[in-house]
Chain A
Amino acid sequence: MMCIDFFSQDRENTQICKLLQEISVETLLAWELQIASKHSPGPVRNEEVLYRQILNPIHYDTEANTFTPTAFNDASDKGLSVNRQNHAFEEHIRQMANDRVEKHNIGHPDKPTRSFLGLVRFDCTDIRNITVQPPEEGASPVRGCAVYDTAYEDDQSHADICQIVKSKAHARSVRSKILDLANKFLAENPFPGVIESV
């Protein structure tokens, strides 16, 4: 099976990362060099910059200016959606985020309103450098995440960060390391309006 076949078949599966975790790591890493969508401008390269839209305030500690560990849980199941800087201007990504928020708030007037807090920047190479240690003595670390170019017709910059290790311990390790990357970015680039309140 090719990468694009897998993602075409299971694109809307909210547990798509769980399906990925059943595939060999060698295959998953090889798929990073293939396109995952017919709309893709090309596989995500290590040197690319990825932006995550932060829309839900419940995952953000305004006082500490940090995220909660669950802020990036999507990487373990549906895939953590990000936008590739090489294929979308930052302002366009912000506009997409604002549009999503507006659509949600208009469509769900009875629910708590959402707001676009800001973008978190990940360097793709940092995400791909996340590793976990297998329990076997002397075993080499294995990759914890993969990044795929899951572009949409109306958003060619879309990509997904997927946790590719299966065990609960490894999943928690990966989550904590994504969190560290995000918090590091946030420490240097607080969301607008946060500096005054910290």
Chain B
Amino acid sequence: MEPLSTMVLLASLATATVIPSFNPERQKKHKHIETSINLYDGAGIEESTVADLTKHSTKKTSVVSFTNDTLAQLDVYSELEHGWDGPDSVPPSQEDIDLAKKFVNSVPAVFPLPKPMLSGDGTVGLYWNDAHIYIDIQFESDHTLSMFSRNRSSDKERFFDSIDVASINSNWFFNTLGELLSQTEDALAA
């Protein structure tokens, strides 16, 4: 299911609230959907669906997703040429851009969308960065990705390397990022 359609469905199931960690001024400028949904609590979910999300939930959080920005920016990357960031910089491969777009499209609707980033060596990445969490993801040349995260409340850092992009599914998002979002929720509640 496409994230947008999922969000629409979730929005219809839940009450709208706004997550304060995102710039409220920014929200005014984007077509977005605000949802308040129940978050996965760690119980085993084989394959997450909207029904699963509501069935397994015990906690409540809220999300705002800014659709299209990330994908549009990734498309801009494909127009870059050699030397875009200095004499030695190289543009990203279309393959890596497509991987990043596929990743963005697979982000479950309960998560905010990441923003894109690009290195001078052509490495494509995505990141989340707010007052509570920092997460960055880099797509490597061998169809794997690496992920670094820091919980700003605890200062706890985690790093995962050589994750097969083909193995990314909704379970991966919940298992890897769900805890961080829970921490964000706790921080908001504090």
A residues with a Cβ closer than 8 A to B are: 14, 56, 58-59, 61, 63-64, 66, 68-70, 73-74, 77-78, 108, 111-112, 133, 168-169, 172-173, 175-176, 179-180, 183, 198
Chain A residues within 8 Å of B157, by CB: 133, 169, 173
Q: Is residue B142 contacting chain A, with contact meaning CB distance below 8 A?
A: no
Is the pair B23, A198 in contact by a Cβ cutoff of 8 Å? yes
Q: Select the stretch in B2-10, B33-41, B103-111, B117-125 that faces chain A.
A: B117-125
Interface range on chain B (Cβ under 8 Å from partner): 20 to 34
Is B161 touching A69 in the complex (CB atoms < 8 A)? no
Interface centre among A56, A58, A66, A112, by most chain B C-beta atoms within 10 angstroms, is A58
What would be 6 A-B contacts, judged by CB atoms less than 8 Å apart?
A56-B84, A68-B115, A69-B125, A133-B157, A168-B146, A168-B161
Minimum Cβ distance to chain B for residue A160 (Å): 14
Q: Given contacts A64-B26, A68-B117, A69-B136, are A168 and B159 in contact (CB under 8 A)?
A: yes
Q: Which residues of B contact A198 (CB under 8 A)?
A: 23, 25-26
CA distance A73 to B118 in the complex (A): 10
A172 to B129, Cβ gap below 8 A? no
Query: A173 contacts which chain B residues (CB < 8 A)?
Result: 148, 150, 157, 159
Q: A172–B136 contact, CB under 8 A?
A: yes
Question: Would you list the 7 A-B pairs with minimal beta carbon distance, nearest first?
Answer: A172-B148, A169-B159, A68-B117, A70-B117, A70-B119, A69-B136, A73-B119
Q: Is B83 in contact with chain A by the CB < 8 A criterion?
A: yes
Residue of A nearest to B29 (CB): A63
Task: Give the chain A neighbours of B146 by CB distance below 8 A.
Answer: 168, 172
Is the Cβ of B84 less than 8 Å from the Cβ of A112?
Answer: yes
Contact status B118-A70, CB under 8 Å: yes
- Chain B residues lying within 8 Å of A179, measured Cβ to Cβ, are 129
Output the nearest chain A residue to B26 by Cβ-Cβ distance: A63
B147 to nearest A CB, angstroms?
Answer: 9
Chain B residues 136 to 187 lying within 8 A of chain A, measured CB to CB, are 136, 146, 148, 150, 157, 159, 161
Residue from the set A70, A74, A133 with the largest chain B CB neighbour count within 10 Å: A70
Chain A: minimal CB distance from B91 (Å) = 11
Output the least CB separation between A102 and chain B (Å): 16
| Minimum Cβ distance to chain B for residue A166 (Å) | 13
In chain B, what residue has the closest Cβ to A110? B81
Interface residues of B in 1-27 (CB under 8 A from A): 23, 25-26
Q: Does B98 contact A (CB under 8 A)?
A: no
Q: Complex formed: what's the CA distance from A142 to B148 in Å?
A: 18
- Interchain CA distance A59-B81 in the complex, whole Å: 16
A122 to chain B, nearest CB (A): 18
Picked from A66, A77, A108, A169, the residue with its CB within 8 Å of the CB of B129 is A66
Which A residues are in CB contact (< 8 Å) with B120?
70, 73-74
Interface residue? B47 (CB, 8 A): no
Q: A111 contacts B119, CB within 8 Å?
A: no
Interface centre among B88, B120, B146 (most CB of A within 10 A): B120
Given A64-B26, A176-B136, A58-B85 contact (CB < 8 Å): yes
